[in-house]
Amino acid sequence: MTAKHIIISGASTGLGRELALSYAKPKITLGLIARDLEKLKAVATLCQQQGALVEILSCDLSCEFNKLKQWLYVFQQNYPIDLVIANAGITASTSPQRQLESWQQTQKLIETNVLGVMSLIHPIVEWMQQQQAGQIAIISSIGAYYGMPVTPSYCASKSAIKTYAEGLRGLLYQDNIQVSIIYPGFIKTAMSDQFPAPKPFLMSAHKAANIIKKGLNKRKKIIAFPFLLSLGMSFLPLLPSALSDLILRNYRNKP
């Protein structure tokens, strides 16, 4: 069954923008959320030109829960939510001198990537349970498989929402709610441009969005890509830690 009423966070740029455009067509209602109102309006206009009905919310998911929940409630009353894609996220990296990300960066990253995801999902779960139907998609990362020296806080945040999604999947199984975890590799976006180490198998946001949409349409529990990079990262936790650490030791921000 194809989703008709879809919520997408982080929809103003990058992967979120491409996901919004990939779903936009007649008889589809999109609820698009992002912090940058002007960029969000521009994406909404493009989606409307493709025939979609669009509602938007400019909101910081990490600290404006009441505003978010009220907007979601109104959306749910008018358009019962079929699919929510929790995509919004930020990144940070260690320095060439092997210094951790600043505490301010780390705190904001965890608030955005973890609490922001949970704040979006939390009210929607209750409504989907009442409907006894729905699909939840959480954008994690291949970095959730094993922490990388170049982005320890980012990897920790993506591992946290991976675990959260796994818990939801078991919890909501009897409510006919599908939970999908997406593990993308490197996607060409403004966020990936900040990544200070090599980006193997880098792909466009448009291509990544199409892969995710196809996987969600098939109601896949796991959507991981590109295959070789995902396979390699998924094996790291199975290896002796000394070997996994050795493989990633030089994968850091170098002077």
Q: What is the pLDDT along the chain (255 residues), one digit of tens a residue?
A: 678 999 999 999 999 999 999 999 999 999 999 999 999 999 999 999 999 999 999 999 999 999 999 999 999 999 999 999 999 888 887 777 788 889 999 999 999 999 999 999 999 999 999 999 999 999 999 999 999 888 899 999 999 999 999 999 999 999 999 999 999 998 988 777 777 677 788 899 999 999 999 999 999 999 999 999 999 899 999 999 999 988 887 666 655
Residue whose C-alpha is closest to residue 172's, from 75, 84, 68: 84
| The pair of three-digit structure tokens given for residue 22, joined into one six-digit string | 């990939």
Amino acid at 83: L
The CATH class for the domain spanning 5-249 reads alpha beta
Q: Which contacts qualify for 186-194: CB closer than 8 Å, 24 or more apart? A: 186/229, 187/14, 187/15, 189/13, 189/14, 189/15, 190/13, 190/14, 191/14, 191/89, 191/90, 191/91, 194/91, 194/92, 194/93
Domain ranges, ordered by start, for the chain? 5-249
Using the 8-state DSSP alphabet, how is residue 13 labeled? S
User: How deeply is 83 buried, as exposed, middle or buried, from its count of CB atoms within 10 A (0-12, 13-18, 19+)?
Assistant: buried
Tell me the C-alpha distance between 58 and 46, whole Å: 17
Tokens 């929510």 correspond to what residue? Answer: 84
